[in-house]
Amino acid sequence: MFINIEDIKKKYSNFKFDLEEIKKFENNIFEAYRIRSVETSLLKAFGEGKLDGTIHTCVGQEFSAVALGRVLSSNDWITSSHRCHGHFIAKTKNWKSLIDELFGKKTGICSGIGSSQHLYDKGFISNGPQGLLVPVGSGIAFNERNKNSIVTTILGEGTFGEGVIYEALNVASLLKLPQMFICENNFYSQSTPQDINTSGDIKSRFEAFGIKTFIFNTWEINNLFVGVEKAYKIIKNNSEPIAIIIQTYRLNAHSKGDDDRSADEINYFKNIDPLNIIKRKSIHFAKKFALIDDEIGDYFEESSKKESLDLHSYLGDQLPKNTSDFYKEAKTNYKGRFIEVLNNFLHEFASSNGVIIGEDIADPYGGAFKATKGISKKYPKQVVTTPISEATIVGMTAGIALSGGKVCAEIMFGDFVTNAFDQIINGISKYHHMYGKKISCPAILRMPMGGKRGYGPTHSQSLEKFLCGIDNLLVVSPTSLEDPKLTYKDIFSQKCPSIIIENKIEYTRKSIEINNNLEIKKNNISLGNILIKPKYNKSHFCIVTYGETARLIYDNYNKIVEEINATFVLVNLLKLNPLEISSFIKQISKTQGVLIVEEGSVNFGISAEIAYLLKDNCYFGKIRRLGSFSVPIPSAKNLEEQCLPNIKRICSEIHKLLDA
């Protein structure tokens, strides 16, 4: 079903288009036409095969962008969507670098990497996935709230199908964030009419969260400009979210050519389009429009001849990859339990203006595992306790980090990070590269993982193998085999996005009891591996593992030696991504074999990657792998223990390794 044209005529055709009245907005009209000319030229270049990829033009919607650009200050932000060119030009005025970007030139705003949908400049950011930047805008608004800045977050009406929208609206309203939500309602979600995709009323969606909402359209320019200006003043004065619905119509296809709308409908809107009317009725404007077309046409020729970015400049990530053969004594002694050390560290982080965000982390509760206990009482402005909204927690964390804030988020249970995978995969891990390495997003996400607490199938998983496969994402599994404070200091000093896998059993651990027959060394690099080996005997085999399993094996070292009748090297990995094994290859080169133990299941897992790296680095011994059984972790205590790596299963695998 298409939109009923007669209903649209009744709603939008009963106003008089007064050319004299809008002449006071002459410069804004020229800017709107410049946006249209750029968009039209880009679409033409795509049609001629001069550009690759895709494009979503805003032809017909330009005055929405211009209405914003004319009121926003230099320290305000826009978070935009896939249809972002008009917003970008209106905010930055940098139309030439946009053209260079789509031509894939290194002079493009993101060095030709992001192309049409992924743009970044100071105060402007856009991304392709629907709704992804809405909570990111909330994070920026939170970080900028004391700078008299506002964040304008733009979305289409079709984006209301994404649940993260409602999470972000809720949080923005609860925290009274200076965030202005703009819904550009062009009545279609790609090719599907609104009455098929969207039930209920859009305005009431905002109002359900107590957000004051205004409605304007792009045909009544005077009302639009004046209305947006008044709304902007309201949010500036009150510093709490508002919403504006701008009813509009795109005259071109959703992207390059996929348009199933009726020709009569499109022609109707072309006839009432303000820029078309102005061009028909005013020689003055028509002449200026022609000059703008010429200027943009000339620049297209110039841009097409510029140099593209070379591969070497693009490759490389932000992850710590230093290596060293030198080991030093590991600092294994610390006071209290692991969780108490972490709590003290987070207190220090908050005292240095770090923001901590997560569910139920404020006092008196202090988080499910009490990592944040006492912090909000002492530093109330640094702790943001949120609703159950993992995607928005991670999105806000990204926004705070992107706008220069120090931030750490807690996911109550690591199992629930799956709700935020879009923010991790299409957001925090990509921002550095897709914006031409102009920015970093050092968002830190902490999450308790693992079993042995009887929490059952959805609260006991070890999901690190899914996270380790994401590029430019540091994944660390702290251990109680060293002072946790050292590990956290290393992680928090990085400039890349980081995930911290915190084993729930490790939270309870105190410092190890020293085994005088063993020496514990730490590789002398940031987040280096921990190496434990016999002082007086040679090692017959090696176990490579991480997290709670490393502590389990250390505590049972003598028991394993008695069972196997052989001594071994224990390698405790701190970094799971990037993996670093070259520093201990020499230490294990003469052993008979290596057992790799991971806390999740081994299929398509971390142990497979380690095994490959060992062989690639010329380790000639035998290799076996062990992990959890490939079933959901059960709650029943005895069954849970049998499903997870345990000493009995570890010894059984070592026998197979040495007897093979």
Is the domain of 465 the same as that of 536?
no
pLDDT confidence bin for 13, thresholds 50/70/90: low
- The predicted model gives 87-96 an average pLDDT of 98
d(CA 460, CA 472): 26
pLDDT at 1 > cutoff 50: no
Residue 543 bridge partners (DSSP): 570, 595
Is the domain of 117 the same as that of 210?
yes
Is the domain of 497 the same as that of 522?
no
Q: At what angle do helices 26-47 and 62-69 cross, to 10 degrees?
A: 130
Is residue 279 situated within a structural domain?
yes
Is the domain of 154 the same as that of 262?
yes
Is residue 313 situated within a structural domain?
no
Q: CATH number, domain at 377?
A: 3.40.50.970
d(CA 55, CA 78): 19
pLDDT at 404 > cutoff 90: yes
pLDDT value of position 12: 63
Is the domain of 421 the same as that of 363?
yes
- Residue type for position 348: E
Is the domain of 527 the same as that of 460?
no
Is residue 315 situated within a structural domain?
no
Q: Tell me the pairing of strands 124-126 and 77-80.
A: parallel
| Containing structural domain, residue 259 | 20-303
d(CA 519, CA 334): 17
pLDDT value of position 584: 93
Q: Of 258, 287, 303, which residue constitutes the final position of a domain?
A: 303
pLDDT value of position 9: 67
Q: Of 479, 508, 537, which residue constitutes the final position of a domain?
A: 508
User: How many distinct structural domains can be found in the chain?
Assistant: 3
Is the domain of 470 the same as that of 598?
no
Is residue 318 situated within a structural domain?
no
Instruction: Please provide the DSSP assignment of 93-138 as one string.
Output: --HHHHHHHHTTBTTSTTTTSSTTT--EETTEEE-SSTTTHHHHHH
Q: CATH number, domain at 577?
A: 3.40.50.920
d(CA 569, CA 120): 48
Mean pLDDT of the chain, nearest integer? 94
Is residue 5 situated within a structural domain?
no
pLDDT value of position 187: 86
d(CA 151, CA 248): 22
Using the 8-state DSSP alphabet, how is residue 404 labeled? Answer: T
Is residue 455 situated within a structural domain?
yes
Is the domain of 456 the same as that of 605?
no
Using the 8-state DSSP alphabet, how is residue 589 labeled? Answer: T
Is residue 316 situated within a structural domain?
no
Residues 6+ apart with CB under 8 A from 37: 289, 292, 293, 296
d(CA 422, CA 352): 30
d(CA 554, CA 551): 5
Is the domain of 491 the same as that of 561?
no
Q: Of 508, 538, 566, which residue constitutes the final position of a domain?
A: 508
pLDDT digits (tens, 9 = 90+) for 110-137: 999 999 999 999 999 999 999 999 999 9
Is residue 319 situated within a structural domain?
no
pLDDT at 258 > cutoff 80: no
pLDDT digits (tens, 9 = 90+) for 365-399: 999 999 999 999 999 999 999 999 999 999 999 99
- Classify each residue of 333-370 as buried b or exposed e, where b means 16 or more C-beta atoms within 10 Å of its C-beta: ebeebbbbbbbbbbbebbeeebbbbbbebbbeebbbbe
Is the domain of 421 the same as that of 277?
no
Q: For the whole prediction, is pTM greater than 0.85? A: yes
pLDDT digits (tens, 9 = 90+) for 154-168: 999 989 999 999 999
Is the domain of 335 the same as that of 455?
yes
Is the domain of 500 the same as that of 574?
no
- The predicted model gives 295-324 an average pLDDT of 94
**Least confident window among 174-178, 190-194, 217-221:** 190-194
- The predicted model gives 488-505 an average pLDDT of 98
Alpha-carbon separation of residue 264 from 57, 87, 106 (angstroms): 20, 28, 42
